[in-house]
Amino acid sequence: MSEQGFLSTVHRNFDRAARYLDYPAGLLDQIKICNSVYRFSFPVRREDGGFDVIEAWRAEHSHHKLPVKGGIRYAPDVNEDEVMALAALMTFKCAIVDVPFGGAKGGVKIDPRKTPVHQLERITRRYTAELVKKGFIGPGIDVPAPDYGTGPREMAWIADTYGQLHNGDVDAFACVTGKPITQGGIHGRKEATGRGVFFGVREALSDEALLKQLGMTAGLGGKRVVVQGLGNVGYHAAKFLVEGGGTLVALSEIEGAIYNPKGLDLEAVMNWRRETKSIKGFPGAETLPSPAAVLELECDVLVPAALENVLHAGNAERVRAKIVAEAANGPTSADAEEILRRRGVVIIPDMYLNAGGVTVSYFEWLKNLSHVRFGRLNKKFEEASTGRLVHAIEMAAGRSLEEAERRQVVRGASEEDLVNSGLEETMIEAFRQIRAVQIKNPKIDDLRTAAFVNAVDKIAVSYMELGIFP
Ligand code: NAD
C-alpha cells in the first residue's frame, strides 16, 4: 500500500466528479458510502490436524439495484478498506456499462498459491455457507464472481454449496457467475475482462481528439504494449491487444519481468513459465531487475493487470507510457493520478476498462435465470432464412457462392458470438457516453472524472425516480 488507502483514493475521485453534478449533498453521500459490510472469521482444519482461523469479508456498497454483484478476492493482504473500495468501484462500473446491479466485493485473507487445493475447497465452501447464513448471497440478493486469486473452480464450489443449501431452487446456479461451462457458465466469460480491455483501448486509439492530445497515430498497429500480471485479465488483455496489431514489448509477473523491443511471443512465454516456473530467462528477452521495472519502460500502452496502487507518488514521475490502460482495479493511486495527468498521460479508468467481466457475468446470470443457452432457439432458423436469401440473390445474379463462402455467410450466431458481440457493443457505447460527458463539460479533462460523472448521474436518477430523494 502506498501513500493512502485504496478507499480514500476512490472517495477522492468521487469527490472530484461530484463537483460537476448538481444533486443534493445527502443524495451524493448516499451514493458514496458503503451500505453494509459483513466481516467474519471461521476455523478450517488443516491436513496435519491443526486449525487455521480464516478472516473474510463481503461488502455490499449499493442496493439501489438488486442483486449486488462483485468478485471474491483471495490474497494474503486483503483487508476491509480494499474490499469496500472494490465494492464501490463495482457500483460505478455497473452503472457505466448499464448492467442493472449494485456493487459488492468479497475477500478471503489467504495465499491461494500456498494453500493446498483441498484446503481451498473447504475454505470456499465454508465462506459460502457463512454468506448464506447471513443473507449475503443469492440470485436476487448478491451474486459473486471471480477476482484476484479465484477462478471458475472456486465459482463451481460456491454454486454447489449454495445449491446444497437450497435444495429444489431451480435458479440456484444464478447465485454466482464465472462458473465452468458444465456448471452453468457461459462461453466467453473467462476471456471477457481482457477482451473488454482490448475493445476499450481500441476505442481510445480511434478517438481523434485523444490521439491529437497524445500526438499518436490511430489504431493499435505497431503500438508498443507492456503488461503487468499474467493472470486471467493480464493474459487475455495481452492476447487480444497483440491479435489487434499491438507489439508486446514487456511482461511482468510476481517473480520478475522480461523485455524485448522487437516483441514477445505471448504463448511461448506462457509455456516457458509453465516449464521453468518463472518468466525470467525467457530466450531472446532481457530480464529486468524487478517486476515493477516494466512500469517505467517507454511504451504506448501500459496495462497494469495485477493489483491496486502499483502506480504511486514514488514512481509516477518515471512512467513513460502515453496511455495507462487500467485492466486491474485501482492500479493508480490518487497522488500518482495527479502526477500523470500533469505529465499528459491519458488514463483509461478501471471502472470502464475492466467492466467486460461484469458485463458477461450479467449475460451468464440471465442465461441461468432463463435456463437456455443463448442462440439455441434461433441459430438454425437464422441459418435457414439467410440461406434462402442467399439462394434468391444467387439466382438473380446468375452466380453461386463457393461452399466455404456460403457457410461463412449463412452461419448463425453461437452463444460465444452473441456474448462477444454484446460485450463489444457495451464497451463502445460506454466509451461514447464517457466522451459525451466531457463534450458537455469541457472542464473535465480526464476520462476517470467523466466516467464517475456518468456513473453517479445514472445512480442519482435511479434514486430520484424511486422518489427517495425528490
Ligand atoms: P489473477 O489472480 O488471475 O491474476 C493476477 C496475476 O498478477 C497473478 O498471476 C499474479 O501472480 C500477478 N501478480 C501479482 N503481483 C504482481 C506484481 N507485483 N507484478 C506482476 N504480477 C503480479 O487475477 P485477475 O482476475 O487477473 O485480476 C487482476 C486484476 O484485475 C485485479 O485487480 C482484479 O480486481 C481485476 N479484475 C478482474 C476481473 C476478472 O474478471 N477476473 C474483472 C475486473 C477486474
Give the C-alpha separation, 161 to 129, whole Å.
Answer: 7
Backbone angles phi, psi at 168, to 5 degrees: 90, -5
pLDDT for residue 295 is more than 70:
yes
Give residue 305 CA to ligand 1 midpoint distance, Å: 5
Which pLDDT score, from 0 to 100, does residue 466 have?
A: 79
Task: Output the nine-digit C-alpha cell for 281.
Answer: 530467462
Task: Kindly state the DSSP code that residue 320 receives in the 8-state scheme.
Answer: E
Whether residue 27 has pLDDT greater than 80 = yes
Give the confidence band of 1 by pLDDT, cuts at 50, 70, 90: very low
Q: What percentage of residues in the chain have a pLDDT greater than 90?
A: 95
Which one of the listed residues 105, 223, 322, 379 is annotated catalytic? 105
* Ligand 1: residue whose CA is nearest its atom 37: 147
The span from the CA of 352 to the CA of 93, in Å, is 6
Amino acid 47: pLDDT: 84
For ligand 1, atom 42, name the residue with the nearest CA. Answer: 357
Spell out which residues line ligand 1, taking CB within 6 angstroms: 71, 146-149, 193, 228-234, 252-254, 291, 305-307, 327-329, 354, 357
Question: What's the mean pLDDT in 138-146?
Answer: 98
> Rounded to the nearest whole angstrom, what is the distance from the C-alpha of residue 129 to the centroid of ligand 1?
26
CB 40 within 8 A of CB 56: yes
Q: Tell whether the model's pLDDT for residue 3 goes beyond 90.
A: no
Specify the DSSP class assigned to residue 330: S
330 CA to centre of ligand 1 in angstroms? 11
**CATH label, 36-185, candidates 3.20.20.450, 3.40.250.10, 3.40.50.620, 3.40.50.10860:** 3.40.50.10860
For the chain, give the mean pLDDT.
Answer: 96
Strands of 48-131 (E only): list them.
51-60, 68-74, 102-108
**Cα-to-centroid distance, 396 and ligand 1 (Å):** 55
CA distance 329 to 350: 5
Element of type H or E holding 390: helix 379-397
When pLDDT is cut at 50, 70 and 90, the band that residue 5 belongs to is confident
Residue-level pLDDT at 2: 41
Set of cell numbers at residue 295: 512500469
Give yes or no for a contact between 242 and 276, defined as CB atoms under 8 angstroms apart: no
Based on the number of CB atoms within 10 Å of its own CB, is 455 exposed (0-12), middle (13-18) or buried (19 or more)?
buried
Task: With residue 286 as reference, give the H or E element that holds it.
Answer: strand 286-288
Quick one: which atom of ligand 1 is closest to the CA of 230? 9
Residue-wise pLDDT tens digits, 406-431: 999 999 999 999 999 999 999 999 99
C-alpha cell, 228:
503487468
Confidence check: pLDDT of 161 > 80: yes
What mean pLDDT comes out for the span 26-45? 96
DSSP 29-69: HHHHS--EEEEEEEEEE-TTS-EEEEEEEEEE---SSSSEE
Q: Whose CA is nearest to atom 12 of ligand 1?
A: 229
Q: Averaged over 265-284, what is the pLDDT?
A: 97
How much is the pLDDT for 470? 60
Section 444-463 average pLDDT = 96
Q: How far apart, in whole angstroms, are the C-alpha atoms of residue 106 and residue 160?
A: 18
pTM of the model: 0.95
105 is catalytic: yes
Q: In this predicted model, what pLDDT tens digit does every residue of 44-61 receive, in sequence order? A: 998 888 999 999 999 999
Q: What is the pLDDT of residues 318-338, one digit of tens each?
A: 999 999 999 999 999 989 999
Tens-place pLDDT, residues 336-379: 999 999 999 999 999 999 999 999 999 999 999 999 999 999 99
Return the ∠ at Cα 152 (arms to 151 and 157), rounded to 5°.
Answer: 105
Class level of CATH domain 191-356: alpha beta
What is the 232 CA–ligand 1 centroid distance (Å)? Answer: 7
pLDDT number for residue 373:
96
CA 33 to chain centroid, in Å, comes to 22
Atom 17 in ligand 1: residue holding the nearest Cα: 254
List the grid coordinates of 211. Answer: 490521439
Kindly report the protein residue whose alpha carbon is nearest to atom 41 of ligand 1: 147
Average pLDDT over every residue of 84-110 = 98
